[in-house]
Amino acid sequence: MPARVVFLLEDLEYGGTQRQALELARRLDKSRFQVELWVLRKGDDLAPVARGYGLPVVWLARTGWVGPQSLLNLGKRLWATPPDLLMLLTAIPNIWGRLWGRLARVPHIVGNCRGGAAPWRQHERFLWPAADHILCNSRILRDFLVSRYGLPPSRLTVVPNGVDTEFYQPGADGRGAGPRVLLSVARLVPDKDHDTLLMAFARISGRHPDAELWLVGNGPRRSILEQQVNDLGIAGQVKFLPPARDIRHFYHQAEVFVLSSVAEALPNVILEAMAAGLPVVGTRVGGLPEAVVPEETGLLVAPRDVEGLALALERLLSDPETGRRLGRQGRQRAVELFSFRAMVSRHEEVWSRLLWGNGHASG
C-alpha cells in the first residue's frame, strides 16, 4: 500500500509554491506515495491543472480568506482521516497544520520554509519542534534556521526548487523588430521591491527608447506602482501584464530577466528564465546567489541599489552578445542542477526515511 500524503496549501492561486507543489505531486512514484491536495480557501487559478494531473483536491472552505470555518474543517478532517504524512506549504498551513496535526496525532509532519521572510511569518522560532522535519529551498534559509533559531541540522534538508527544462526552453533565435523587453515576473507586493526597478529603468529608458519593462504579476501594489510609473515619466515604456498558467511566451519575447526583490529564497521564475536562456539580473538576497553566478549566468546587485541595478541593465542592453552568452550558460546550469527529477528524488528520500526508516523503498 502506498503511503497517504496530504499537501496542505492555503490556495491554488497562481504562485511559485503552488506550481511547485503540483509538479511534485504529479511526478512522485505512485507505487509509494498517494497524494491529496487539501486547500484552506478559494483561489482556483491552478485548479484546472490539478484536475488535469489527476490530483484529488479537497476544499476545506470556499471563503476568500482563512477563517474559523477553514481551520475547524482542517481539524475535523485530520482527526477523522489522518494521513501518513502531512506536507505543509506556505505560511498559514505551516502554522495551523503543525498545531492541528500534533493534536490529531498525525504520524509525520513535514514543514516547508520557502522565501526570505518565511521563518518569522510562520513563527519557526516557536513552532519548529512541531514538525518532524523541515525542508528549505535554499542553503541560506537552512543556515539561518540553525544559527538564529537553534534548529538541529538533522531536522533540516535543502531541496532546491525544480524547473521543467524540457518545457522551458529558449525561443527561436532573434526576437524580431519589436521592443527590447526587460521582463520581471513577480507578485506586486513589497518584498519584490518594484520601486527600485522602476527608478533604475527610468535612469536608462531615455538612452534606450526601444526598450520596454514588462511587469507580469498581480498584487495589491498595482495602483501605487502605476502612479510611480506616471510620476517617473516612463508610462510609454512600462507594461503591467497579468500572469498566466503558461508564461513561456513572455520569456521568448524578452532579452533580459530582472528581479529586484529585497527578500527571497530561491524563486521559481529565476530558474524558468535561466532554462529559457535569458540572462538574469537579480539582487544579492536569499538563495539567488545559489542559482545566478555573476558574470557566468547573470549579474547580481545589492538590494535597493538603484544605481547598481541601472548599470547592470544598461550593460546588457548595450552589449547584447554578453547577454546571449550569459543566457546560454544559465540554461546549462539550470539543466544540470535544478531539474524536476532531482527535486522529486530528494523529497522521496526524505519522506521514505521518515515513513520507513530508509531513503529508497517502503518495503
Q: Where are the alpha helices (DSSP H) in 13-130?
A: 16-27, 47-52, 68-80, 91-103, 118-121, 124-127
CA–chain centroid gap for 214, Å, is 19
pLDDT at 361 over 60: no
The three cell numbers locating residue 212: 520596454
Per the CB < 8 A criterion, the answer to whether 228 and 338 are in contact is no
pLDDT of residue 157: 97
Q: How confident is the model at residue 357 (pLDDT cuts 50, 70, 90)?
A: very high
Q: What is the pLDDT of residue 114?
A: 87
What pLDDT, on a 0 to 100 scale, did the predictor assign at position 173? 65
Query: Lowest-confidence range among 9-13, 218-222, 356-360?
Result: 356-360
Pairwise CA distance, residues 358 & 128, whole Å: 23
Asked if 156 contacts 136 with a C-beta cutoff of 8 angstroms, the reply is: yes
DSSP string, 128-155: GGGSSEEEESSHHHHHHHHHHH---GGG
* 360 or 151, higher pLDDT: 151
Residue 175's pLDDT band, with cuts at 50, 70 and 90, is low
pLDDT at 182: 98
Cβ pair 281, 298 in contact under 8 A: yes
pLDDT at 251 over 50: yes
Rounded Cα distance, 333 and 315, in Å:
22
Domains 3-161+339-356 and 180-337 share a fold: yes
Percent of residues, the chain, with pLDDT higher than 70: 98
Phi (first) and psi of residue 137, to 5 degrees: -100, 10
* Angle (CA) 94 16 234, round 5°: 125
The residue among 211, 216, 212, 260 whose CA lies nearest residue 238 is: 212
| Nearest CA-CA partner of 278 in 184, 209, 203 | 184
Judged against a pLDDT cut of 70, whether residue 174 lies above it is answered with no
Tell me the CATH number of domain 180-337, given options 2.30.29.30, 1.10.357.10, 3.40.50.2000, 3.90.950.10. 3.40.50.2000
- pLDDT tier at 176, thresholds 50, 70, 90: low
pLDDT by residue (tens digit) across 11-53? 999 888 998 999 999 999 999 999 999 999 999 999 999 999 9
Q: Could you report the per-residue pLDDT of 129-153, keeping only the tens digit for each?
A: 999 999 999 999 999 999 999 999 9
Domain residue ranges in the chain: 3-161+339-356, 180-337
| Structural domain 3-161+339-356, CATH architecture | 3-Layer(aba) Sandwich (3.40)
Residue 266 confidence (pLDDT): 85
Per mean pLDDT, which range of 79-83, 117-121, 201-205, 226-230 is the poorest? 117-121
pLDDT value, residue 14: 84
Can you give the pLDDT at residue 24? 96
CB 301 within 8 A of CB 236: no
What pLDDT does residue 362 have? 36
Q: Looking at residues 248-255, what average pLDDT do you find?
A: 97
Alpha-carbon torsion (80, 83, 84, 88), positive or negative: negative
Biggest CA pair distance of the chain: 65
pLDDT tens digit sequence for 264-320: 888 889 999 999 999 999 999 988 999 999 999 999 999 999 999 999 999 999 999
Tell me the percentage of the chain whose pLDDT exceeds 90: 88
pLDDT of residue 360: 46
Q: Quick: pLDDT tens for 71-82.
A: 999 999 999 999
Contact 7, 46 (CB under 8 A): no
In the prediction, which pLDDT does 342 show? Answer: 87
